[in-house]
Structure 1
Amino acid sequence: MNIRATLADKPRPRYLMCNPQHFAVTYSINPWMDPKAWAATGQVLHAKAQQQWDGLHRALIRHGANVDVLVPASGLPDLVFTANAAVVLDGKALLARFRHPERRREEPIYAEGFHALRARGLIDQVIAMPDDVVLEGAGDCLWDARRGLFWMGAGFRSDKRAAGVVDDVFGVACVPLDLADPSFYHLDTALCPLPCGGVIYHPGAFTEEARAAIELRVAPADRIALDIADAELFAANAVCLDRVIVMSSCSAALRETLEQRGYTVVTTLLDAFLRSGGSACCLTLRLDRNSRATAQDAVTGTWATQRQ
């Protein structure tokens, strides 16, 4: 077993993380990654990454999460981004199939980790993607509890036809969204469904057709559009713990918008990971999502009242 529990089992949101012991930028598979810049001050940046990861880990636990930690593996610097490990819902884990060879080496590590979780009773089924279909886990496949569907990013790192696999495995709708800007190469860099029904998103990250798909399903009052400044801070790459939203940073205007909707915004700086194109959501994977649960089950009080 290569996973250890950091908290006793409790009825709390449960996340998977991986310590950044081997995190570095040693190759480039997205526009944020600059191996030469990392190499120039790598030791300092690695220490900063560890400190910032520890801060995120503490913030999640402080706000009620259980966290299981995957043991890192040498030579796999992006293993820290556990959001990419799988799509998880109703006890089923659909393991990722990566596009780039640099990350395909992570697949057996994640598979071993999920089988360990299954042995502990935290996952019921571990399911492999078809060999010829690429889907980079929850980095490109986000559960929207209020609408009872998955949003799925496609184009740069995941295949659009993976939506059909997700639909078949989980028995829920999966809405594919074509991504248009390589800086927002995974869906979780540009979109975040909120428990209240709001959706944080950066319109410029999507094709016109994808924006229309979002607008068809999300009412204008529930669309929280990010400008380029907040988008480049990866403000959409956030972790939602009921009324608490954990992210690296955001503008005062976005904070105010979220607070008006009843959220507490917790910022814990993660800019070391932005050098690899990741932030809070990328560093975590929710393990206990249930398609039968609603935002009202998880949140005391009514969102409608909070938003008036």
Structure 2
Amino acid sequence: MCRPEHFTVSYRINPWMHPQDPTNTAKAIEQWTTLYDTFVGLGHDVHLIDPLEGLPDMVYTANGGFIIGGIAYGARFAYPQRSPEGPAFMHWFADNGFEVVEPERVNEGEGDILLVGPRILAGTGFRSTVESHAELAGIYGREVVSLTLVDPRFYHLDTAISVLDPLEDDENANIAYVPAAFDDASRRTLETLYPDAIIVSEEDAGILGLNSISDGYNIVIAKRAVGFEKQLRERGYNPIGVDLSELLLGGGGVKCCTLELRR
């Protein structure tokens, strides 16, 4: 995670961002701290990367890379405003004992790369290129399924899909998703691969309710996603709502603020 000490909205690279509207950095830090404390309270081991001045989106650490088995695939951002984040995260990975693979293709880390059981779901359409999916497959030797995003509200895959079961070797790992985010072919793929998936409303997904973190039972979600909360409880999960409304002004939620480190 990265404390949002420099958080503001000074440019527009997604539909959520409106530079003309004021942001409150102190409020963002307060809400982020609640998320941090929630993770610690659930027993997660949380590591911090130092925030860098001039990089207001660095709080969205999910975009900083993707890691399985101690191998860190670095990020190469689509927009110049975030480009310096890529090297910053790769330096952190190296300093903390991860094997770093520098990307050749544009990808935005776990924003567009999700591990579901043994399979990798990879998004394209707005940020990460489809060529990065082949790069992923070559690095990790796993099945990589490409999914195309078509709704700009869901510009990253982690805004449209929630991974409910996080174990890497769980063949029955399930997801929740919002169909409107995807093209027809991707919807058919998801229907085939995950017939028991939770289908989430556009209302809940539209406040980044799917942008969540799960340990297989406790699932931290957007506090206002009450419909999704009910669906999770009905499936036997324990949803925990957190208010990140200030960080939503930059287009991020729970998952965006959290990069998973898989040793």
Q: Deviations over 1:151-197 (max 9, x none)?
A: 11101000012111111101101111000011110000010121163
Q: Is 2:209 the partner of 1:225?
A: no
Q: How many residues align?
A: 257
Where structure 1 has 5 or more consecutive residues not aligned to the other structure, the ranges are: 1-16, 290-308
Q: Considering only CA atoms, is the larger Rg found in Structure 1 or Structure 2?
A: 1
Specify the alignment match of 2:107 in structure 1. Answer: 135
Where structure 2 has 5 or more consecutive residues not aligned to the other structure, the ranges are: 166-171
TM-score scaled by length of structure 1: 0.81
Tell me the C-alpha RMSD between the 2 structures. Answer: 1.2
Q: Please state how far the C-alpha of 1:251 moved relative to its aligned partner.
A: 4.0
Work out the CA distance in 1 between the residues paired with 2:228 and 2:66. Answer: 28
Work out the CA distance in 2 between the residues paired with 1:151 and 1:117. Answer: 26
Work out the CA distance in 1 between the residues paired with 2:115 and 2:16. Answer: 25
Work out the CA distance in 2 between the residues paired with 1:116 and 1:72. Answer: 16
Q: Please state how far the C-alpha of 1:94 moved relative to its aligned partner.
A: 0.2
The within-5 A match list for 1:36-115 is 36-38=20-22, 42=23, 45-115=24-94
Work out the CA distance in 2 between the residues paired with 1:186 and 1:25. Answer: 18
Work out the CA distance in 2 between the residues paired with 1:256 and 1:140. Answer: 26
| SS of structure 2 residue aligned to 1:177 | strand
| SS of structure 1 residue aligned to 2:46 | strand
Work out the CA distance in 1 between the residues paired with 2:55 and 2:153. Answer: 22
Does the Cα contact within 8 Å between 2:204 and 2:226 map onto a contact in 1?
no
Quickly say closer, same or farther: Cα 1:23–1:107, change in 2 above 3 A. Answer: same
Question: Which residue of 177, 194, 200 maps to 1:201?
Answer: 177
Q: Which amino acid aligns with 1:200?
A: A
TM-score scaled by length of structure 2: 0.95
Q: Is 2:182 the partner of 1:210?
A: no
Work out the CA distance in 2 between the residues paired with 1:47 and 1:266. Answer: 23
- Percent identical across equivalent pairs? 36
Question: Which residue of 122, 134, 139 maps to 1:152?
Answer: 122
Work out the CA distance in 2 between the residues paired with 1:105 and 1:127. Answer: 16
Does the Cα contact within 8 Å between 1:233 and 1:249 map onto a contact in 2?
no
Specify the alignment match of 1:175 in structure 2. Answer: 145
Work out the CA distance in 1 between the residues paired with 2:189 and 2:224. Answer: 26
| SS of structure 2 residue aligned to 1:68 | coil
Q: Is 2:208 the partner of 1:234?
A: yes
Work out the CA distance in 1 between the residues paired with 2:88 and 2:10. Answer: 19
Specify the alignment match of 1:24 in structure 2. Answer: 8
Specify the alignment match of 1:191 in structure 2. Answer: 161
Quickly say closer, same or farther: Cα 1:210–1:24, change in 2 above 3 A. Answer: same
